[in-house]
Amino acid sequence: MIAAVCSATLVSCAAQTNDPDQTSDPIEPVNRMIFAFNDTVDLVLVQPTAFLYREALPDFAQDMVHNFVTWLRSPIVLANDLLQGDIDAAGDTSARLVVNGLTLGLFDPATDMGFQHRNEDFGQTLGVHGTGGGFYIVLPLLGPSNLRDTIGLIVDRFFDPLTYIGHVDYRPIYSISAKVTSAVDFRARNYEQINEMKFTSLDYYARVRTIYSQHRNAAIKNGEIPVDKTTPDMSREFEQFVPTSYPGDQTGDVPTAREPVN
Partner 1 sequence: MPAVRHWLASVVVALVVVAGIGSAPIAQALTEEERAEAFIRDLSAEALKVVADETLDTASRRKRFAELLGQHFDMAWIGQFVLGKYWLRATPEQRTDYLSLFEDSIVLTYTSRFDEYAGQQVRVLGSKNVRSKFIFVKSQIFDPENTKAAVNVMWRALPIADSFKIVDVVIEGVSMSITQRNEYSAVIQRGGGKIKVLIDALRKSVDRLRARQG
State the residues that interact with partner 1 by CB under 8 A. 21-23, 111, 192, 196, 199-203, 205-207, 209-211, 214-215, 217-219, 221, 223, 225, 227-229, 231-233, 237-239, 241, 243-248, 254-255, 257-258, 260-262
Q: Which is nearer to partner 1, 157 or 215 (CB)?
A: 215
Separation CA 80–CA 28 (nearest Å): 30
The residue (of 167 and 193) whose beta carbon lies closer to partner 1 is: 193
Residue among 45 and 219 whose Cβ is closer to partner 1: 219
CB of 34 to partner 1, least distance (A): 17
Minimum distance between the CB of residue 262 and partner 1, rounded to whole angstroms? 5
* Nearest one of 114, 119, 113, 112 to 71, comparing CA atoms: 119
Let me know how many helices (H) and strands (E) the chain has, helices first. Answer: 14, 2
Q: How far is the CB of 19 from partner 1 (least distance, A)?
A: 11
Burial label, 1 (beta-carbon count in 10 A; 0-12, 13-18, 19+): exposed
In whole angstroms, how far apart are CA 164 and each of 76, 159, 170, 208? 13, 10, 10, 34
CB of 165 to partner 1, least distance (A): 29
Name the DSSP letter for residue 261: -
Q: What are phi and psi of 10, to 5 degrees?
A: -120, 15
Nearest-angstrom CA–CA distance, 144 and 28: 12
| CB 122, CB 73: distance < 8 Å | no
In the complex, the smallest distance separating the C-beta of residue 200 from partner 1, rounded to whole angstroms, is 5
Measured distance CA(254)–CA(262) in Å, rounded: 23
Between residues 12 and 22, which has the closer beta carbon with respect to partner 1?
22
- Nearest to partner 1 of 2, 57 (CB atom): 57
Whichever of 49 and 111 has its CB closer to partner 1, that residue is 111
Q: Cβ of residue 33: shortest distance to partner 1, in angstroms?
A: 15
